Amino acid sequence: MNSLTVILPTYNESGNIATIIERIFQHVPEAQVLVVDDNSPDGTASIVEKIMQSEPRLRLLKRAGKEGLGKAYLHAFSEVLKDQSVQRILMMDADLSHDPSYIQAMIRANTDADVVIGSRYCAGGGTQGWKPWRKLLSGFANRYCRTITGMPIYDATAGFILIKVDALRSADISSFDASGYAFLMELKYRLWRRGAHFAEVPIIFVERREGQSKISKHIILEGVLAPWKMRLRR
Ligand SMILES: Nc1nc2c(ncn2[C@@H]2O[C@H](COP(=O)(O)OP(=O)(O)OP(=O)(O)O)[C@@H](O)[C@H]2O)c(=O)[nH]1
Ligand SMILES: [Mg+2]
């Protein structure tokens, strides 16, 4: 069955990519996986190509250069939506912070909800291995987003998101220009404004052990401004 496509955006994830792909197929053997790589200098794409030789469920979308998480996801959505048989899309990080063992619980919650978030901020969720500043920033960012936008979601900056394709098709997702947390908040906001029903499934988010963070001052600033932009546009 060709109904679930997992999208894995990558930039310099050579230390994680083989493990995350293997673990996804272990927990959801029926899934297809699409890696979206922005020409990682560390050779992430060639590792994927090697695995593809013996793994027909795996595909690779190669992009010319680093353009941020948002652009990579929008490109991947437009590819996946061409295939009418795909019923749901799962967005997740490739750095092993999002444990594939939660995917089945998210799929179960997806029967009643259009969008299921692997959530750090609902009862039972949390983070492991984060420095205090990261915890504070993330907790604050989520309360801030909820207060300003009114969106009833505890983990608005989450990147572990299962979406029914019908909900994604009805939201206007082709036309926005945001990269990191801003993209993840705005995507949920557009789905919510279009009437999508949300559920949150608790996850423990584990700090990456391999590779480097791509968080920058630009991504944080864009995230701070995003909820105001959404509110003002309303
Ligand atoms: N294709 C693509 N993927 C990206 C880009 N920036 C980040 N990613 C990927 O998006 C996912 C999330 O990025 P991370 O750098 O892990 O961001 P984070 O989880 O907020 O922060 P850390 O875990 O601290 O690094 C990872 O799989 C990255 O490799 C990009 O510009 N293009
Ligand atoms: Mg990460």
9 lines ligand 1 (CB under 6 A): yes
Ligand found nearest the CA of 7: 1
Phi, psi of 78 (to 5 degrees): -65, -30
Sketch out the chain's domains with CATH numbers.
4-233 (3.90.550.10)
Ligand 1 atom closest to Cα of residue 179: 31
pTM reported for the whole predicted model: 0.95
Environment class of residue 166 by beta-carbon count within 10 Å: exposed (0-12), middle (13-18) or buried (19+)?
Answer: exposed
User: Distance, CA 132 to ligand 2 centroid (Å)?
Assistant: 16
pLDDT tens, position by position, for the chain (234 residues)? 449 999 999 999 999 999 999 999 999 999 999 999 999 999 999 999 999 999 999 999 999 999 999 999 999 999 999 999 999 999 999 999 999 999 999 999 999 899 999 999 999 999 999 999 889 989 999 999 999 999 999 999 999 999 999 999 988 777 777 788 899 999 999 999 999 999 999 999 999 988 888 878 888 888 888 898 888 887
What's the per-residue H, E or C state across 104-162?
HHHHHHCCCCCEEEEECCCCCCEEECCCHHHHHHHHHHHHHHHHHHCCCCCCCCCCCEE
User: Distance, CA 50 to ligand 2 centroid (Å)?
Assistant: 24
pLDDT of residue 221: 86
Ligand 1 atom closest to Cα of residue 213: 25
Residues measured by CB to lie within 5 Å of ligand 2, the ion: 93, 95, 97, 208
Cα separation, 85 vs 44, whole angstroms? 28
* Residue 105 CA neighbour count, 13 Å, CB half: 13
10 lines ligand 1 (CB under 6 A): yes
39 lines ligand 1 (CB under 6 A): no
215 lines ligand 1 (CB under 6 A): yes
